[in-house]
Structure 1
Amino acid sequence: MKAVQVVSHEQRKEFLDFPIRIFSDDKNYIRPLDKDIEEVFDKKKNKFFRSGECERFLFLNENNETVGKVAIFINKKYRQEQPTGGIGFFDCINDQRTANFIFDFAKNHLAEKGMEAMDGPINFGERDKFWGLLIEGFSEPLYGMNYHPPYYKNLFENYGFEIYFNQLCFGRKVHDSVAENFMEMHARISKNKNISSKRLKVKDLGKFAKDFTEVYNKAWASHGEGKQLTETQTLKLFNSLKPIINEHISWFIYENEKPIAMWMNIPDLNQWFKHLDGKFGIWQKLKFLLVKKFTKNRKMIGLVFGIVPEWQRKGIDGYMIWEGTKHFRKTTDFEDYEMQWIGDFNPKMMKIAENLETEVTRKLATYRYLFDRTKTFERHRIL
């Protein structure tokens, strides 16, 4: 077996196409857009190259056939107790010997660069895409979410990887009954004439970006690993979402016109992208517009839910949930609601998910492997 660094056009194509052979019989697999993966490895588009390095490899057997692939990277901003590198975009045939060869190669590659551990499968980028190994809930993946065969879990754990943290997705049916206490909260808060609700509208994107930034920075940025957002950053994000924003499913709550809570949701793009076979050229873009127009999207994704500290535990969550729910039940075709993953190190956010009367729909895991096998393994600290 040998490792070959991906440098040529043909090798990049093989890196993208190899998973198709792994998932050929899996009806739930949705091929990610090639462009989304390629942008991770584009130094002009991925800002993490400014403070890190990333290489990707194919692994070939004695017949020169691809049997595995992986990306190996170092992100200097990924600060851990010990210098820790990352591996991602791992795919492999169902063979432990092959997986061990790939993991050994990655370990040696990172050790030569001063790393003492490796996490995977993670992304050379933010945690919102391509992060974690799917270990439970093998249903169609959400857009930007990793999807793996069940046997990958054994490949990782048999090698010696341990779970650094679990990533839980929570979901519910849109038309399931809403908790009685939420209805009581809504009835009580509705009597307060200073409180109002508004749904996000594209024509007022600047205003809602400003309001989102204010609520987010008060609700989340001061906790744990949160970071302050600027209004410019938020507006850039909102503008990137503009083509797929549904004006009926994201809600903001105000006290005397001052934003105090927000609930951001978008349609699951994979419900449209699964018809494109990973491509997004001119013809696929036209097809996407047709699919988007004539194919009803039945799943919405929860991005962010936040309440400013002074209004937490006062019933605003119940008020906002019922304000939004009663509206989008009437105005949209959505049947399923699923939240982006929450780390099990974040009990506060998990509690919010539970308060939404959700259940765990899928579980991913971020694994860690310590190169010094005598060192005590520690899980992610609780926030």
Structure 2
Amino acid sequence: MPGGVTVVPVQSKAELDRFIRVPMRLGARDPNYIAPLLFERGEALTAKGNPFFQHADVQFWLAVRDGRDVGRISAQIDHLNPLTKDGVGHFGMIAAEDDPAVFAALFDAAEAWLKARGCRIAQGPVNLSTNEEVGLLVEGHDSPPMFMMGHDAPHTPGRIEGQGYGKAKDIYAYVCSVADDLPAPILRRVRKPPAEGVVLRTLDMKRLDQEVQTLTGILNDAWSGNWGFTPTTEAETQALATNLKLLLDPRLAWFAEIDGEPAGFMILLPNINEAIADLRGKLLPFGWAKLLWRLKVKGPKTGRVPLMGVKRKFASTMRGQLLPFQLIDAVAQAARKLGYERYELSWVLEDNVAMRRICDAGGARVYKTYRVYEKALA
């Protein structure tokens, strides 16, 4: 290909390992880049470890020049995503050296694959599902990313735009100080005894599978109107329960019920990136001990709220409108006692007015912007 670049489809375990390591090499000199755990990436990017592959077609590629891996990209079609019926396919996992020839070669491969399967529009990055990592970091490179949030090289937005892509949506990451209470007028309402029929409770670890089913039901209902949302399947729910066991602190996972019906939830997870920043992706020989000590003994200072929602039937009611603030206050009080200093609410669509108002009213501020790009495929 032009520029001496060869694009190789990933077909073997060794090639997948190379694929995973590309951004690790590119980000080695970036003080804010944090290498993911290699074993976790290996599971997330294979059908054996990720139920996403049960309802999606996926292909990965490596860009190689002179025997050296200089970039990577994925393309995928999620058959449960409502945008698929409109001819939308996704690219993702994009990482490459600052060279237009490398980006051109990678996007040529991904777009040809999508077009061959009937796609008329390419959107991304989506890594791999809209329930995982979405968007490319375009603002906020001056701080490390939180758990399951991307940190892309600053040259990447311009190179993607150079391939003919434009903005589809921006999504925001908000940051909150745990030390700050909600504004006084809101706090006075939140700290009153709950309205009749409203119950707030923490997650019951003894019934974790059932609790995750409840969470998933609320999530699929609350987020159903969001752009690009894909319902979570039963298999993905089970995988979620398994993956959360190590991370979940029931004191930071709250449910709300209205008249005995699950109505809302909020979960704060410890920021794993804080604990693995110096492990370089490896848990052996001593990484496991360091990770567990930092999470369970030392305790994290930062966290992320990746999951929060209120059922749509309650969201427009007086009791339902107060639930997000009651949940935020309950989680913040618990986090404060556990030594947390700040947490992130992410991701929030730019046109999700209701959620943005909640974040703004709660004193949170946007500190990172991620962008989803799109391009019509000729």
| Interval containing the TM-score (normalised by the shorter chain) | 0.7 to 0.9
CA distance in 2, matches of 1:173, 1:303: 16
Identity of aligned residues (%): 22
CA offsets per residue over residues 265-301 of structure 1, 9 Å max, x none? 2111212232332134575333322332343301121
Q: Which residue does the alignment assign to 1:114?
A: 118
Q: TM-score, normalised by structure 2?
A: 0.84
Q: Distance in 2 between matches of 1:232 and 1:117?
A: 28
Distance 1:341 1:194, change over 3 A: closer
How many angstroms apart in 1 are the aligned matches of 2:108 and 2:12? 24
CA 1:259/1:47 → structure 2, altered by over 3 Å: closer, same or farther? Answer: closer
Shift of the alpha carbon at 1:170? 1.2
The structure having more radius of gyration, on CA atoms, is 1
**1:139-178 aligned within 5 A:** 139-178=143-182
Q: Secondary structure at the match of 2:168?
A: strand
After TM superposition, the score normalised by the length of structure 1 is: 0.83
| Aligned-pair CA distance for 1:256 | 6.2
Which residues in structure 2 correspond to 1:161-240 (within 5 Å)? 161-187=165-191, 189-190=192-193, 192=195, 195-205=198-208, 208-209=211-212, 212=215, 215-216=218-219, 219-221=222-224, 237-240=240-243
User: Which stretch of structure 1 is more off in the superposition, 274-283 or 154-163?
Assistant: 274-283
Aligned-pair CA distance for 1:254:
4.2
Question: Residue 288 of structure 2: SS of its match in structure 1?
Answer: helix
Q: Match of 1:381?
A: none
* 2:17–2:42 contact (8 Å) kept in structure 1: no
C-alpha displacement of 1:185 = 0.9
* Aligned residue number for residue 338 of structure 1: 344
5+ residue gaps, structure 2: none
Task: Tell me, yes or no, if the aligned pair for 2:276 and 2:291 is still in contact at 8 Å.
Answer: yes
Tell me the C-alpha RMSD between the 2 structures: 3.1
User: 2:131, 2:229 within 8 Å by CA — same for their partners in 1?
Assistant: no
Q: Indicate conservation of the 8 Å contact 1:185/1:318, yes or no.
A: no
Contact 2:265 2:308 in 1 (8 A): yes
User: Which residue of 2 is the match for residue 30 of structure 1?
Assistant: 34
The 10-residue stretch of structure 1 (91-100 or 341-350) with the greater mean CA deviation from structure 2: 341-350
Change (3 A) 1:29 1:348: same
Question: Which residues of 2 match residues 248-263 of structure 1 at below 5 A?
Answer: 248-254=251-257, 258-263=261-266
Q: d(CA) in 2 for partners of 1:219 and 1:68? A: 37
| Change in CA separation of 1:164 and 1:36 when aligned onto 2, cut-off 3 Å | farther
Q: Does 1:77 align with 2:80?
A: yes
Superposed, which structure 2 residues align to 1:348-363 within 5 Å?
348-363=354-369
Give ranges in structure 1 of 5+ residues lacking alignment: 373-383
Q: Decide which moves more: 100-109 or 24-33.
A: 100-109
**Among candidates 14, 17, 38, match of residue 13 of structure 1:** 17
Number of residue pairs matched? 368
